[in-house]
């Protein structure tokens, strides 16, 4: 038991160190971009930046802890479902084939996990926190409730594991899985960034700031619940949720009231004892 506790504590420490290393790197990339090509003029040290930094470090560490528990349970439940010969065949494939396969499978699973988080009221209570931001920038990407993050990652894990693309589980040290995770972190920061780039040759082919900003739009009922894909808009085209006009949205956020501050947002969606 002690060894297991120490292993978990060590893993959390490593995760915290990774977050600390990545934050200045992301800031060095995105802060200058947002100052040079802003979609909206806004301060770098905006009023709610401490909330998003709390989500980045504290929320990220809580997410890692919950993810280890939930991922281990999922992997144990699915063990024995996949023929060993298939797993060996997949493991023998080159990284340049496995990485795009992981991105495509994961993005399709993410599309539906994301869409359900908008359609199911209980899930929306957690996901609404991410949409509460009324100004977009690269750090808004971190404003995600741990329950929302774990739910989404577990939905993505299921088909990836069943296809043999995540054989080490959700915390695999496999280099390909780490590369996919780092790419996703950087790209999701980019599509949330406060930049006015259109990337016209890529719009509609991959998720871009223009594409994802419309997912956060608060310009009227006709423009909500659009553009769920994290990377490939083809899923939105196939399932009827694609929206990409020439202009950027004028307003962001949601009409629903969301409590200010990290702790209030963290606790409010959780079930409460009767009588409270």
Q: What is the tens place of the pLDDT at every residue in 211-221?
A: 999 999 999 98
**Looking at residue 21, what DSSP letter applies?**
H
261/240 Cα distance (integer angstroms) = 35
pLDDT for 64 equals 87
pLDDT for 76 equals 85
pLDDT for 260 equals 86
State the alpha helices, DSSP H only, in the chain: 2-36, 49-54, 60-78, 84-91, 95-119, 121-131, 146-162, 175-192, 209-213, 234-239, 262-267
Question: Do residues 220 and 254 lie in contact, with contact meaning Cβ atoms separated by under 8 Å?
Answer: no
Mean pLDDT of each 10-residue bin along the chain, 276 residues long: 61 74 92 93 88 92 89 84 86 86 93 98 96 94 95 93 72 56 84 89 88 95 93 96 93 91 91 61
What one-character-per-residue DSSP string does 174-222 give? Answer: -HHHHHHHHHHHHHHHHHHSSB----TTTBTTB--HHHHHGGGB-S-GG
Q: Please state the pTM of the whole predicted model.
A: 0.89
pLDDT for 1 equals 58
Residue ranges per domain, the chain?
Answer: 2-267
Comparing CA positions, the residue from 128, 142, 131 lying closest to residue 49 is 142
pLDDT for 6 equals 61
pLDDT for 2 equals 57
pLDDT for 145 equals 96
């Amino acid at each position: 038991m002690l060894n297991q506790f120490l292993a978990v504590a060590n893993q959390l420490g490593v995760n915290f160190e990774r977050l600390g290393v990545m934050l200045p790197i992301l800031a060095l990339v995105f802060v200058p971009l947002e100052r040079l090509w802003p979609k909206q003029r806004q301060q770098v040290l905006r009023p709610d930046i401490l909330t998003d930094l709390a989500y980045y470090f504290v929320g990220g560490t809580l997410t890692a802890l919950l993810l280890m528990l939930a991922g281990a349970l999922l992997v144990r439940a699915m063990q024995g479902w996949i023929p060993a010969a298939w797993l060996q065949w997949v493991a023998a494939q080159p990284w340049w084939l496995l990485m795009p396969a992981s991105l495509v499978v994961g993005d399709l699973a993410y599309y539906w996990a994301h869409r359900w988080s908008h359609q199911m009221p209980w899930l929306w209570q957690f996901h609404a926190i991410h949409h509460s931001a009324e100004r977009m920038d690269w750090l808004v990407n971190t404003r995600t409730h741990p329950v929302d993050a774990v739910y989404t990652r577990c939905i993505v894990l299921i088909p990836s594991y069943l296809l043999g693309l995540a054989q080490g589980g959700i915390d695999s040290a496999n280099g390909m899985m780490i590369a996919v995770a780092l790419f996703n972190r950087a790209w999701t920061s980019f599509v949330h960034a406060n930049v006015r780039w259109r990337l016209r040759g890529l719009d509609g082919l991959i998720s871009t700031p223009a594409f994802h900003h419309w997912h956060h739009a608060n310009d009227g009922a006709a423009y909500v619940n659009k553009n769920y894909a994290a990377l490939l808009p083809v899923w939105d085209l196939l399932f009827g949720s694609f929206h990409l006009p020439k202009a950027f949205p004028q307003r962001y956020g949601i009409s629903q009231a969301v409590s200010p501050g990290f702790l209030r947002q963290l606790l409010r969606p959780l079930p409460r004892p009767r009588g409270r």
